[in-house]
Structure 1
Amino acid sequence: MAEKDQVKPLTPAGHQPRSDGEDDYEAMHAKSNNLRRKQLYIQCCGCLSVLLIVPTVMIIVVLTVCHVKHPSLRMNSVSIQRPLEVVNGTTTTGGRDQNLTLLVDFLVKNPNYASFKFRNATTVLYYGGTVVGEGQIPAGLQAKARRTIWINVTVDIIIPEKALLGGQSGIMSTGTLNLNMSSYTRIAGKVKMLNIIKKNMVLGLNCSFMYNVSGQAIQDNCSRQHVHF
């Protein structure tokens, strides 16, 4: 019996056979689209991160770098530039007041990231509640950013004759005389950051002195500073 010819099924209308090259092209195209989507996603995440990080950094900078802190004022030492006139262990008033010159050494420490510029500064000395001397600190001085500045102030003092009188008129015993004085130092200035943040400050310092005439020595005691805005 002769074998019948096998009948092959017809290809459906509209269906075209695809080559391996076309399949590879579509796979590469899909892979490229996925890669573009991933890159776009990464770029969007990066932009969003920048938008979140920049304001945070600015806030941190404002709260740290641009935060104005209090400069500190301290007296380092007091030395005698011109002592009272002492002859043979005594001081003669000669019927007049006497002059005493002191050199006061101050320290101003600026913790800010901007300079602290002085407008005016004064040291006033008192004896018995009365002003007996005054020293000026030149305006325009400045403590640079995060630096410390040392300031020397010369104070000329007039000691009243009545404070120098001892057992005899015009004569005093230097072995028993201590002159107790007090002082107040005031420094006004401004801290300015980026021409945006400006802060006026006034530093104040109270001190007391004991001047031993026989030993030509000064003992000082300074209270803590106080700051005004």
Structure 2
Amino acid sequence: MTENSDHLTKPNKRKRSCLIAIGVVLFLILLLFIIALILALTVFKTKQPRTQILSASVDGVAPRISFPAVQIELNITLDLMILVENRNHASFKHGTGKTFLLYQGNQVGDADLYPGFIPARGNSTLPCRLTLQADRLANNMSNLISDVLGGEFVLETRTRIPGRVTLLGFIKKHAVAVSECQLTIGFPDMTVKRQVCKSKAKL
């Protein structure tokens, strides 16, 4: 009777040990999942990449006004240095970006931005050269003449940089950094008198 009970007890002990081992493994998996979730919502939470214009300068020939019929000839190029700041604890790889030049809401020029890689908590500076295309100003020429005669005119830039943030080496999330700037150009010195920028991102 004692031998039979010993034979019955041993399988029960093995079964109990297996259940304990399975329980420990499940507990560890659950614990790792909770830790990963907390990190994803705090330290590794995806943050918006920021873009801003570090510097802006005007290159090229200043506008020339001719009389008696008022005409303006333009040959203006904007040299911009755009800073892209990656605030994430993860890398940000971006593709080819695009910057548009606008006057009173109408596109008058554009330029591509080179693709690149920004490490975690790092930043990168992208050069951008925008040439104002005078033929696109035909519909706004009267407004431009009025602005120039008033001593300044306002150009806008809109920059879009698509990319993706890579978390923990395998979790990838798309992000698009967007910035909009207003640049006030003085006349006749052709310098940037004021610039106001705002940035946002689409995650």
TM-score, normalized by length of structure 1? 0.62
Report if the CA contact (8 A) 2:114-2:126 is conserved.
no
Partners of 2:150 and 2:111 lie apart in 1 by: 28
CA change 1:120–1:228 in 2 (3 A) is same
Which one-letter code corresponds to 2:60 in the other structure? R
Please say if 1:144 is aligned against 2:123.
no
Q: Cα RMSD over matched residues?
A: 3.4
Structure in which a larger fraction of residues adopt strand? 2
Shift of 1:177: 3.5
Which one-letter code corresponds to 1:219 in the other structure? K
Which one-letter code corresponds to 2:85 in the other structure? K
Partners of 1:52 and 1:174 lie apart in 2 by: 68
Equivalence for 2:56: 78
Please say if 1:124 is aligned against 2:96.
no
1:209 to 183, 186, 199: 183
Structure in which a larger fraction of residues adopt helix? 2
Structure 1, gaps ≥5 residues long = 1-46, 167-172
TM-score, normalized by length of structure 2? 0.69
Equivalence for 2:132: 157
Partners of 1:62 and 1:126 lie apart in 2 by: 39
Structure 2, gaps ≥5 residues long = 1-23
2:44 to 66, 69, 73: 66
CA change 1:203–1:54 in 2 (3 A) is same
CA change 1:205–1:107 in 2 (3 A) is same
Shift of 1:132: 0.9
Equivalence for 1:221: 195
CA change 1:150–1:103 in 2 (3 A) is same
Counterparts of 1:15-94 in structure 2, within 5 Å, are 51=28, 55=32, 57-84=35-62, 91-92=65-66
CA change 1:149–1:214 in 2 (3 A) is same
Number of aligned residue pairs: 172
Which structure ranks higher in relative contact order (CA pairs < 8 Å, sequence separation ≥ 6)? Answer: 2
- Using the aligned pairs only, state the percent identity: 24
Which one-letter code corresponds to 2:196 in the other structure? C
Report if the CA contact (8 A) 2:65-2:73 is conserved.
no
Question: Match of 1:68, SS?
Answer: coil
Equivalence for 2:171: 197
